[in-house]
Amino acid sequence: MEAIVNVDDLRRAARRRLPKVVFDYLDGGAEGEVTLRENVHSFGDIFFRPRQAVSFPELDLQTTVLGTTISFPALLAPIGYSRLLHPEGERGAARAAGAAGTGYILSTISGYPLEEVKAATSGPAWYQLYLLAGREAAELVLERARTAGFSALVVTVDTPVAGMRERDFRNGMVPLISGSWMSKLPYLPQMFMHPGWVAKYLLDGGLKPLPNVVIPGKGPMELIDVGAALSRTALKWDDFKWIRESWRGPIVVKGVLTGDDARRAIDAGAAAIVVSNHGGRQLDFVQPGLRALPEVLAAVNGQVEVLMDGGIRRGADIIKAICLGARAVLLGRGYAYGMAAAGESGVRRALDIFRNDLTRTMKLLGCGSVRELNASYIEWLHP
């Protein structure tokens, strides 16, 4: 891991370790993947305006999100079924986040029970909600999350259906998850090329039902049912009324890209908003999060905290988002590549890379505190 110097190195390491079908599940986006690419490229449209001849031997990278102090302005985003990438999965990622002094957001589509994940981290943990099995199941899991000590609820609003992720269809994700052995046969050669992953996957017991989506009277939902369940239980703004009644803590609305939806989220009771296009995995040809951020910030006008995600690969990207007005960012693939490459140690390495990038860039920028970053440190190359 010490030979890994940036997130692209982690991506290459993940690609070497994973079968193609699993790597593309992690790496791919919706349809033509235009938004997936633009999420990354949009950061190249912002250049820095540094202050020279200043020195800060000690930097203050801390910030607060929903009243909780984190060591630097980045949290780990929810990644569905991280256990498919590596057996340590969500539990290992949460442990790495806590060790780094930051927060972890657990996806509903988790391979580990939420109680185990919360127990693994020493940092703040939030629970991300999909209504996969309907209201009754959601109310049950919210009570479990509250009892376990999750401090905030993240409600994702951009998944009325699953996006058309073409790589998954081409490379065998559907047969891997739900097909017969006969349907898996065309894809077995790629498995044989990655015996390390296959061995760990089989020793871990393969795909398991979702322990945090418990259907009353039936038990945990099978992973194969997730796509259809999204369509059956699409979330609407009206649902926030009963969600607020079931969850008394702060609610974060994730998946907002317009000022109008930002205002709706505030009306629905949001304490924070995440500007996000789901990592380019849902609707293609929507704005990158970085481009959508100013409109959302203007609509919010300081009423709630605003975070963003999408395309963050370097500490400099975090700084650009903060300069535009984001309170913090969520890291998705930026740490998931590390998870896929080496489990918890890979996530720790990813977080070290982001922190070191952030420290170096802040010093070169001539700014001693994250809280002092503002628009005067940046300029748009193409406004």
| Active-site residue set | 278
Name which of 87, 42, 223, 221 is nearest 141 in CA terms: 221
Is residue 63 a contact partner of residue 328, using CB atoms and an 8 Å limit? yes
**How far apart are the C-alpha atoms of 274 and 261, rounded to whole Å?**
11
Angle (CA) 17 21 24, round 5°: 85
Which of these, 299, 238, 252, 58, lies nearest to 154 by C-alpha position? 252
The Cα–Cα gap between 281 and 333 comes to 12
Q: Which two tokens stand for residue 50?
A: 């540094």
Gap between the Cα atoms of 290 and 11, Å rounded: 22
Which has the closest alpha carbon to 156: 222, 64, 234, 266?
234
